[in-house]
Chain A
Amino acid sequence: MRQITPYLVSGCWLVAGLLAGFCLGEEADEVERHFERRVRPLLAARCWECHGPKRQESGLRLDDRESVMRGGDSGEPAVVPGDLKRSRLYEAVRYEGLKMPPDAPLSADQIADLATWISAGAPWPTGTAAADLQSPEAQAESARMTHWAFQPVARPAFPPVRQANWVRTGVDQFILARLEAEELLPSPEADRRTLLRRLSFDLLGLPPSFESLEAFVRDESPDAYERVVDQLLASPRYGERWGRHWLDVARYADTRGYAFGRERRYPYAYTYRDYVIRAWNEDRPYDQFVREQLAADLIPGSEPAARAALGFLTVGRKFNNRHDDLDDQIDVTSRGLLGLTVSCARCHNHKFDAIPTADYYSLYGVFASSQEPSELPLIGRPEDHPGYGAFKEELDRRQAALQQHLDERLAEYREQARRSAAEYLFRAYAEWISVTMTAEQAASYSFLTLSPDDRQAQFANAWRSYLQQRLRAEDPFWGPLHDFRHVEAGRFAALAPEVQRRWLERPAGMLPGQLHPLVKNALAAITTWQSPLDAAAIYARLLADTYREFSARADQGVRWESVTDARRTILEVVYGSGTPTEIAAGDLAGLLNRAERDRQRDLEKQIEAWQASSPGAPPRAMVLAENPQPHQPQIFIRGNPGRPGKSVPRQFLLVLSGANRQPFQTGSGRRELAEHIVAPGNPLTRRVIANRIWMHHFGTSLIGTPSDLGQRSERPVHADLLDYLASRLLDYDWSIKALHREIVLSSTYRQRASSTDTTPAAGLALTRTEVNETAAERSLAATRTDANQVAVSVTAGDKTSATAMGAVSNEAGRSLDPRVSKDPENRLYWRMNRRRLEFEALRDSLLLVTGQLDERMGGRAVDGFVQPGVARRTVYSLVDRQDLPNLLRVFDFASPDQSQAKRPETTVPQQALFLMNSPFVLQQVQTLAASLAAISEDPATRIAQLYQRVLGRQPTAAELDAGLRYLLATQQLTSQQITRQPASQPSQDSLDPWQQYVQVLLLTNEFAFYD
């Protein structure tokens, strides 16, 4: 149990370690070990990028002792052993004068590590220790010891707080302790109405009804809040909201990407989306959720429907390149579940983290050991699915069309192989004996008919290996051809007659020692010899004649049995099995020409399109299936599959494994990978998910980079809170809903979002000047950070401070809250964050308040989410990663190509245009206006109704007045015609004043934000 801050803990550990070393009389060793474990990795991770072997900014290198002692262009040493004051490195890392590293300061304990090292004389061991440190194992060991995120998740002790009565859940204890340490007060609790709106948007992505708000405000029972939380968590709308958050992580889409003429849609991606929504609704324990997504097919006894979970691995973009597909799986698994950027190690060892390339290929091996089967398994009984009969009938028809195409092509290529058998035999023999024919020679053989372009390489190869196999010296049929091949080339004309004579001596027959009668006849007819091709021509003619004769008679039903034995030998070469003329269905792919391939693809596309579009297609799971033989991975040098290197076992990541890491034992190892990820001892998995949950409640992440907890991620300000949440997850048997309760029941969560309506705590107010300076300094710091990448224009200091002044000045005559200046970004959570609705929540809320939301769940994706009349929740809309609607892009929708932890939040006019002008919104407006018109004729009553429906409250007198004024003025205007309109703008309003007014309410900030 840690009772003090980690900085002190590690400080104590260090001192104790050094003292222990001293007691043993091995002080130097201990200091060197400190250097190797703490300092060298730190320099490597944070300094060498700019001051290392590749670059020497300001002439400074920090990768060997001599350079460090010499310093850079300034001429002063970076480190003076034993003298902190004169060590410029120490000065720079403390951001005194120079501020290094520029992107983010070192942590306090890292600075302390440097100080310890410099004070101890800055030893820099060379030789084996250094080499050893560069090994991945040593790097991993060092990372495990030093980096916050690799420390085991331990339950931190509750820090003491003064205002204990503020604490409702453990969350508050950590938040309050930190606020008290900074002498800040938390904000008061928000009012009931605000709280219910917050809870409802947070948990469901939808606003509460006016009635439920009223009921909650009136509910005086002590557990009113708890009950409403439980109700919301039990709503099926919850899974649709939080499932979508997960789909961002899972880079979900309904299409495969660029499809090369194939069907672009994944017919069954939706079964993964539905699985996710169901899993969140059912509060599936997170460890099980992870296991199923990686290995549902390998978990004995798991329900068949859970196999759709494997969509996590299979709904990514398809690159038409296996390596890239696997990279996508490695990336979504490592960043999505572990918060590690393993993909960075595809070409070389990870630049910042202890992830060697070997680890990448260990995971590569895991995923490469499975395939997506061509026929995906059904979920449930297809017969139970409505419309299945009609679907099946059409599917069978389309599949038959494809089969027919392939059968016909196969028959054609078989016929071609037979028809041209003579030519292929002859050419294969010629090639084998390395004889090239002149054009005249070739023209003399009547059986040579194919142009070079018509010759199939596949047939030629088959003939070549057939001849090599069948030409035997004593073979009664092939024997002569064998022997002529062995005649000395230079004296062929002289020696060939002798071979001819020897063979003609044999009796005609098909037994050993005899000569095939037809060969014998043909051989006897030859009088002069030029080359072995003369012999080959005998065989070619026999094949050609046989084919001609038999194919002509085959139409008349002539059967093999009716031909002579001698002829049958040849017939078997042309038509039999085990010969080059036998074309298997599997050979077809290599034979089809472009047009035929296109036709095949087109027919396949029709099948896929039918599966993707037919309402009767029964659901299937987008699974992976284990290959019979797992893939034995090799490192690809620099990521190049053409340069395979060292073999590596399929196993878990080095940095998360102890010294006795074992290769995976069973099959692909996917199941074992899943188990390692959800092992209680894994320091990352629970931190990552706990942070994701927190982030969606507060809008800000505890971890700077929620999907990258590697060594470049700073220790969170609220590291103990994070660990508390992560450890609670285990207490709750991985129940995410329990974690929600822990968070939303807290006083922290229930705070007000505004800073202006609270009394600032005494003694903390800064003067305005001080504030300006602080803000300006901050701005400059931020600018400098950016300078390494893109120079962001900050024109002048006065402009900056003008804005900063705006941020804290007394614009509306209110007093300044000191917390705004001390923690403007609310990193300490002294108030709630105001939140803007994402696109889904905005669209769904529009549909809800206009009474149109279609609450049906699940099923095939709905195309046209902004078409009027499409009223399903947005999570069910088709996500086409190849042609993502621009509107989704401008509303910050998650990229479906990469696992995305957090959406950007931008404000651009295209968002406003959608609300002002889109047919979808105008339809909502008309529907809502019509439903209100039915309630009352009285404008004031209608306005009140409208406020209740849209904003969940009564209008104020001023708002009512504004509304009435608008309606009145507009009605007067309609009689006067408005002139001078741009060409395509209507010259008359088709929205009546009331509808115009309704639209305005739907566009308000109050509708689009919640406090």
Chain B
Amino acid sequence: MMRPETSMMSRREMLCRTGVGMGMLGLATLTMSEPAAVRAAEYGNPLAPRAPHFPAKAKRVIHLFMNGGPSHLDTFDPKPSLQKFAGKELPTGNLKTERRTGAAFPSPYQFQPYGESGIEVSEIFRHTAQHVDSMAIIRSMHADVPNHEPSLLLMNCGESRQVRPSVGSWVTYGLGTENQNLPAFIAMCPGGYPITETQNWQAAFLPGVFQGTHVDTKHEKIEQLIENIRNASVTQATQRRQLDLLSELNQTHLSPRGLDPALEARIHSFELAYRMQREAAEAFDVSREPRHVLEAYGPGVQARQILIARRLIERGVRFVQLFHGAGQPWDNHDDLEVNHRRLAEQCDRAIGALLTDLKRLGLFEETLVIWGGEFGRTPTVELPQAGANQGKINGRDHNHWGFTVWLAGGGVRGGQVYGATDEFGFKAVENPVHVHDLHATILRLLGFDHTRLTYHYAGRDFRLTDVHGTVIERLIA
């Protein structure tokens, strides 16, 4: 689509890129004629909305990223057989993971069936489970290695080591965004960065505008959430008057220079920025929600950022990714029972409320919701090892052999379990879904053929799935 090594947006490209979504821009700059305003909005703006390869229901994405690796065995993949072998070695032996593991470790939580589909879900996700009939639970995910860094990069960028664009970057590159007053791709993480940091939302060789905008949702004030969104020195009315003078001076500069979309685009960008100040502040301000909505999501930073995600999606942001917290909160090598329960408590209710809310607002069918981590955890207990864990023998190691990711909304065929791990939940054995397959499917849900969403760079066409990936048709409604 674009060749980075030539001019990013040539005039020719600009001219042919009129079209959908201009209405979202609202009023054209008052001092400009209509065509000039359109031109200015389009010029050099790689985020103008675009249609995908073919029509699709999903238009936007919320990715709930449980970083650290949530245990599938304690959430969405019940394994009663583990009970039989509790404290004993598994008859099938242990697969090699990052650390040594020992005897079978049954889930400390109760599972029960939900909905018409009767899919069993753990008590710690009982609110989320209310929507099980709308969810496609992929129990046969697998990745490449049992380590956080490569697995995070694989899940987020489709490649474990080398620098490649993130899923959100690819999606905004392909679709642009529907609201020019907000960033197109927002990555939220309270308290800092996940492991591998900004690489999780990197644009790599795609132009920088496709990179995720990181928002530290630990903060509540808008000026701490988005840089330069507030002017601390002048009132809004004064700033309006400044911009009016600016516009006047810029017109004087423009007029002898004739047609120049670059000049016009920059004039226009100040108007956009002016509007973004208000719109972003509104979008991130959850206190504007009615009381019953706030109560439905519950207290805490997870609830707040999940509610923010809904507000962003509602306003046309293309891709919102939420990390549970800085570092790797779900990485429970010790005290799994206490920690998984605590972590789920922080987000379960809000996830349930989010799905309810999206349905209530008519956004559910247009919004693809993804839940999962970079891998799952072992069905066997992690053994103590000097300096590696606390030696409590009550946690699980990383497990890339098999884990769960679920999808909901946006064209997903809900109420189904897809694939399965073995009897004990160690390894995906039935209809295994590699991360590349998940990516191919996500892109398909958004209307892309993953083999054709490419970017020419350094002599070849790159794509999210590299040379891999199979669309899982059964996941699609």
Contact = CB atoms under 8 A, between A and B. Distances in A.
Do A and B truly interact?
A: yes
21 contacts: A324-B162, A327-B162, A594-B388, A700-B7, A779-B12, A790-B50, A792-B50, A793-B20, A809-B35, A825-B10, A886-B213, A898-B458, A900-B4, A904-B208, A906-B8, A906-B207, A909-B273, A917-B231, A917-B277, A1000-B249, A1006-B249
A941 interface: no
Nearest to B52: A791
Interface string B241-275: 11101101110111111111011011111101110
Which residue, A883, A990, A991, A997, has most C-beta atoms of chain B within 10 A? A991
Interface in B368-382: none
Contact of B35 (A344, A790, A803, A966): A803
A629 B340 CA distance: 53
B228 interface: yes
A985 interface: yes
Q: 10 closest Cβ contacts across the A-B interface? A: A341-B459, A595-B387, A904-B8, A756-B258, A806-B35, A889-B208, A912-B273, A779-B16, A594-B387, A909-B273
A913 B277 contact: yes
A893 B207 CA distance: 9
The DSSP consensus for interface residues of chain A is: loop
Contact of A1008 (B12, B45, B173, B266): B266
A820 B259 CA distance: 10
B73 to A, nearest CB: 24
Contacts of B214: 886
A176 interface: no
B387 A593 contact: yes
B460 A344 contact: yes
B67 interface: no
Interface string A885-908: 011111111010110111111111
Nearest to B51: A793
A320 B150 CA distance: 11
Contacts of A834: 257, 260, 262-263
Given A792-B16, A981-B235, A916 B270 contact: yes
Contacts of B43: 907
A799 interface: yes
Interface residues of A, number: 138
Contacts of B248: 962
Given A888-B208, A986-B234, A1009-B262, A258 B459 contact: no
Given A802-B35, A907-B265, 15 more contacts: A335-B458, A704-B3, A778-B15, A794-B19, A803-B15, A882-B197, A884-B198, A892-B207, A895-B208, A897-B204, A905-B9, A959-B252, A988-B235, A999-B242, A1005-B263
A432 to B, nearest CB: 25
Interface string B296-310: 000000000000000
Contacts of B112: none
Contacts of A807: 11, 15, 39, 259
Given A331-B458, A593-B387, A1008-B266, A805 B35 contact: yes
A984 B281 contact: yes
A934 B232 CA distance: 25
B383 interface: yes
Given A898-B163, A912-B272, A790 B52 contact: yes
B6 interface: yes
A472 B222 CA distance: 79
Interface of B: 1, 3-13, 15-20, 33, 35-36, 38-39, 42-47, 49-53, 100, 149, 161-163, 173-174, 180-181, 183, 193, 196-199, 203-205, 207-209, 211, 213-214, 221-223, 227-239, 241-243, 245-246, 248-250, 252-260, 262-263, 265-270, 272-274, 276-278, 281, 383-388, 448, 452-455, 457-461
Nearest to A599: B387
Contact of A803 (B18, B52, B234, B387): B18
A594 B208 contact: no
A694 to B, nearest CB: 14
Nearest to B208: A889
A335 B207 CA distance: 18
A677 B82 CA distance: 63
A453 interface: yes
Given A803-B35, A966-B245, A905 B386 contact: no
B458 A978 contact: no
B192 to A, nearest CB: 11
B15 A804 contact: yes
Which residue, B207, B233, B448, has most C-beta atoms of chain A within 10 A? B233
Contacts of A341: 458-460
A978 B237 contact: yes
Contacts of B193: 883
A982 B205 contact: no
B385 A453 contact: yes
A776 to B, nearest CB: 9
Nearest to B458: A341
B173 to A, nearest CB: 8
Interface in A621-679: none
Contacts of A134: none
A637 to B, nearest CB: 15
Contacts of A705: 3, 5-6
B256 A790 contact: no
Which residue, B235, B268, B461, has most C-beta atoms of chain A within 10 A? B235
A970 B234 CA distance: 12
B178 to A, nearest CB: 12
Contact of A708 (B211, B454, B459): B459
Interface string A984-1010: 111111110000110111011110110
Interface stretch (A108-116, A217-225, A346-354, A520-528): A346-354
A889 B203 contact: yes
Contacts of A989: 233-235, 238
A824 interface: yes
B458 A904 contact: no
A988 B237 CA distance: 10
B245 A886 contact: no
A160 B176 CA distance: 48
Which residue, B161, B262, B274, has most C-beta atoms of chain A within 10 A? B262
Contacts of B453: 789-790
Nearest to B196: A258
Contact of A812 (B258, B265, B272, B448): B258
Interface in A956-993: 956, 958-959, 962, 966, 969-970, 973, 978, 981-982, 984-991
A806 B249 contact: no
Contacts of B53: 790-791
Contacts of A805: 35
Given A344-B458, A982-B278, A825 B11 contact: yes
Contact of B233 (A808, A912, A986, A1009): A986
B234 A1009 contact: no
A970 B235 contact: no
B253 A918 contact: no
A592 to B, nearest CB: 8
B49 to A, nearest CB: 8
Contact of A704 (B6, B386, B448): B6
A327 B159 CA distance: 15
A836 B265 CA distance: 12
B201 to A, nearest CB: 10
Contacts of A904: 4, 7-9, 46, 207-209
Interface in A306-326: 317, 319-321, 324
